[in-house]
Amino acid sequence: MEFISNLGVGALRSVSSVGSEITRRVKTASAPPQRPFRVCSHDRSVRKGLTAGSLRELIAKAMDALFLTGIVTLVLEEDGTLLDTEEFFDTVEDGSVIMVLEKGQKWNPRKGVLSYSLQQEKPKNSRDIARITFDVYKLNPRDLFGSLNIKATFYGLYSMSCDFQCLGPKKVLRELLRTLSAALHGVGRLLLTASGVLRRLLDGGDHWQNRICEYEG
């Protein structure tokens, strides 16, 4: 009996030790880092910012942020690429805009945006050489013209962007008046110069005519 009792105590200690080790390993396992994203509705009317460390977490937080229920699909907002695996989720850049689609909804390109790849048709095992995105937007509804943002991504690793901001109505009018004033000033100087040349020509003609009259007289 004493042997059986000792055996039972030893077995319990072994099970307890194994359980503690498993618990310790689970606790020490680092959670995936939180990454920033922006999510939007299918018509881009609602946008929310959030952080997520996995695709499952991103789906859950996106549904909570947009107050959605049921089955949803995630796609990249800029080109409609389907986001459905953790492997592809790990390759998505931080700060990317993710569109959340409900059943029956589909991705549509944004108005005023032209996006194309220099390598349009590519084999399955190839990768993009360059992707250029043109984004036309307005900083202020009263702006006369939209601003332009150009973003280029090379080989999916290196990216660069250039932003051309449009001036407001008052600044545009001020620049136009300044340009017009400079143009009129230049035209005025040109007219004065032309007037002086013509006057000299006329005076020179009268002088030679008087000399001829004197010679004939």
SS percent in the chain: helix, strand, coil, step 5: 45, 25, 35
For 25-74, what is the HEC assignment? HHHHCCCCCCEEEEEECCCCCCEEEEEECCHHHHHHHHHHHHCCCCCEEE
Q: Name the domain boundary from 62, 81, 108.
A: 108
Residue with tokens 């939209």: 146
8 within a domain of the structure (yes/no): no
What pTM was computed for the model? 0.42
Q: How many domains would you assign to the chain?
A: 3
5 within a domain of the structure (yes/no): no
pLDDT tens digits, 30-87: 678 999 999 999 888 888 999 999 999 999 999 999 999 889 999 998 888 999 999 9
Query: 155 and 86 share a domain?
Result: no
Query: 114 and 104 share a domain?
Result: no
Q: What is the CATH number of the domain that holds 75?
A: 3.10.20.10
Please state, in angstroms and as integers, the Cα–Cα distance from residue 52 to each residue in 76, 127, 208, following that order: 15, 26, 94
Query: 100 and 46 share a domain?
Result: yes
Contact (CB, 8 A) for 81 and 93: no
